[in-house]
C-alpha cells in the first residue's frame, strides 16, 4: 500500500480526513443493529420446529433455522451458550411467542455441521471480488495460572479466516475458516464455491501471486476475468499475459502509479472489513471444536451482511 513506500517521510504527508454525508440514516442503521426484532422476528415461529423426517432414525426437535437464530444472537451479543439459552427464552416470553428454546448442550451439538441458509443480495452485474485472510484466536483461558504457579504454558493455536468481499455492496460473498497451516492460494478453490455471481475483476495481495490462482479463477469465472495481483520486486516475464503487463507497467512507471491505474488500492476495503469483523464480532472464536468454529464463522459473516443491509456510511474527503 502507498504508506509502505513513504514510511521514512510519512510525517510530511497530511493525514486524509473524511466526513460522513448520510449521518441520520447511518445512525439509525447503527441503532437497528441492537434491535432484537432484526434477528428474531415473529414469522420464524412456523419454522421453529424441525419437519418430520420420512426416513428411519431419530426426530430432531428444532429446525436448523432455530439453531441458527440462537447462534446468531450468541455471536452478535457475544454470549456464552447458557446465557444464549436464557436470552432467547426471555425474548420469546416478552414477544408472547410459544416456542421451546434449545438448551445449551443442544446448541453446542447441533452447531457442528450446521447448514446456514444464505440470503445474499443478488448481483445484477458482474462483481469486483476482493479477497484476503486474517487470523482468529482460539480462546482457551488466560495465562494467570501459568504465571502464578509456574505451570507449563499451553501451546497456542489459531484459525485462519478467508473472506471474499463484493466491492459494490460491501457484502461478504464468500468465507472459509481453515487451520493455520492452509495457505491463501490453497484455500481459494473452496472459497469460490460460495460465490453465485459472475466476477469480472479479482483483487488480492501478493500472497495470491501464482499460476495456480490464475488457473483457478479462469476455470471458475472464464478467461475474461481481470486479475490484479502485485508481482514481487524480482518478478520476471512468464506465460501469463496479464501478469506480464503488470510487470512491465511497474518497471516503466513505478509501483505507486500501477496501483492507481489498476485500482489496486481498492483492496483496502477488504482490510477495513476484516477490522470491522474484529471490532463487531471479536478477534477470536468462542467454540472450541473446529467443526463448530466453522459454523460460528459462517453465522458471523451472515450477521455482518445483515448489518450492512441496514445501512452503510457514505464518505467524502474534506482534506
Does residue 151 sit in helix, strand or coil? coil
Q: What is the pLDDT of residue 196?
A: 85
Of the candidates 111, 116, 229, the residue with the CA atom closest to the CA atom of residue 174: 116
Q: What is the pLDDT of residue 154?
A: 62
Which residues of the chain carry a pLDDT beneath 70? 1-6, 120-123, 140-156
| C-alpha–C-alpha distance, residues 264 and 191, integer Å | 21
From the CB of residue 228, how many other CB atoms can be counted at a distance below 10 Å?
19
Domain ranges of the chain: 23-111, 124-142+156-285
Q: What is the pLDDT of residue 5?
A: 67
Q: What is the pLDDT of residue 108?
A: 94
Q: What is the distance in angstroms between the CA of the first residue and the CA of the last residue of the chain?
A: 20
DSSP assignment letter at 177 = E
Label the pairing between strands 127-138 and 158-166. Answer: antiparallel
Provide the whole-model pTM: 0.88
Label the pairing between strands 127-138 and 199-203. Answer: parallel
Q: What is the pLDDT of residue 104?
A: 94
Contact, 20 vs 318, CB < 8 A?
no
From the CB of residue 154, how many other CB atoms can be counted at a distance below 10 Å?
10
Of the candidates 146, 136, 135, the residue with the CA atom closest to the CA atom of residue 184: 135
As assigned by CATH, the class of the 124-142+156-285 domain is alpha beta
The alpha helices in the chain, defined as continuous H runs, are 2-5, 23-32, 36-39, 64-77, 81-95, 104-111, 144-149, 184-191, 211-221, 241-253, 255-262, 268-280, 290-310
- CB-hemisphere CA count at 13 Å for 68? 24
| C-alpha–C-alpha distance, residues 152 and 129, integer Å | 44
pLDDT in tens, 45-70: 888 988 877 777 777 889 999 999 99
Rounded to the nearest 5 percent, the helix, strand and coil shares of the chain are 50, 15, 35
Q: What is the pLDDT of residue 258?
A: 94
pLDDT in tens, 95-120: 888 899 999 999 999 999 898 877 76
Q: What is the pLDDT of residue 285?
A: 93
Amino acid at each position: 500500500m502507498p504508506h509502505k513506500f513513504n514510511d521514512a517521510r510519512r510525517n510530511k504527508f497530511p493525514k486524509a480526513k473524511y466526513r460522513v454525508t448520510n449521518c441520520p440514516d447511518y445512525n439509525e442503521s447503527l441503532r437497528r443493529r441492537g434491535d432484537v426484532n432484526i434477528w428474531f422476528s415473529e414469522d420464524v415461529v412456523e419454522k421453529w420446529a424441525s419437519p418430520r423426517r420420512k426416513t428411519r432414525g431419530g426426530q430432531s426437535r428444532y429446525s436448523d433455522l432455530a439453531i441458527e437464530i440462537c447462534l446468531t444472537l450468541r455471536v452478535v451479543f457475544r454470549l456464552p451458550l447458557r446465557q444464549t439459552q436464557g436470552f432467547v427464552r426471555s425474548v420469546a416470553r416478552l414477544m408472547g411467542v410459544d416456542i421451546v428454546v434449545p438448551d445449551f448442550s443442544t446448541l453446542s451439538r447441533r452447531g457442528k455441521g450446521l447448514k446456514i441458509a444464505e440470503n445474499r443480495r443478488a448481483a445484477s452485474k458482474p462483481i469486483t471480488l476482493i479477497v484476503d485472510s486474517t487470523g482468529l484466536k482460539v480462546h482457551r483461558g488466560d495465562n494467570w495460572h501459568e504465571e502464578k504457579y509456574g505451570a507449563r504454558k499451553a501451546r497456542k493455536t489459531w484459525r485462519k479466516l478467508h473472506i471474499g468481499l463484493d466491492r459494490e455492496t460491501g457484502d461478504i460473498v464468500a468465507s472459509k475458516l481453515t487451520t493455520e497451516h492452509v495457505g491463501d492460494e490453497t484455500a481459494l478453490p473452496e472459497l469460490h464455491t460460495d460465490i453465485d455471481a459472475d466476477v469480472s475483476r479479482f483483487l488480492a495481495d501478493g500472497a495470491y501471486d501464482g499460476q495456480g490462482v490464475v488457473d483457478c479463477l479462469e476455470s471458475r469465472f472464464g478467461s475474461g476475468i481481470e486479475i490484479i495481483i502485485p508481482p514481487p520486486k524480482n518478478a520476471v516475464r512468464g506465460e501469463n499475459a496479464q501478469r506480464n503487463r503488470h510487470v512491465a507497467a511497474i518497471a516503466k512507471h513505478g509501483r505507486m502509479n500501477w496501483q492507481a491505474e489498476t485500482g489496486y488500492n481498492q483492496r483496502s476495503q477488504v482490510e477495513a472489513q476484516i477490522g470491522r469483523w474484529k471490532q463487531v464480532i471479536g478477534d477470536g472464536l468462542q467454540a472450541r471444536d473446529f467443526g463448530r468454529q466453522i459454523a460460528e464463522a459462517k453465522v458471523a459473516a451472515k450477521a455482518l451482511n445483515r448489518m450492512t443491509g441496514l445501512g452503510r456510511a457514505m464518505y467524502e474527503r474534506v482534506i
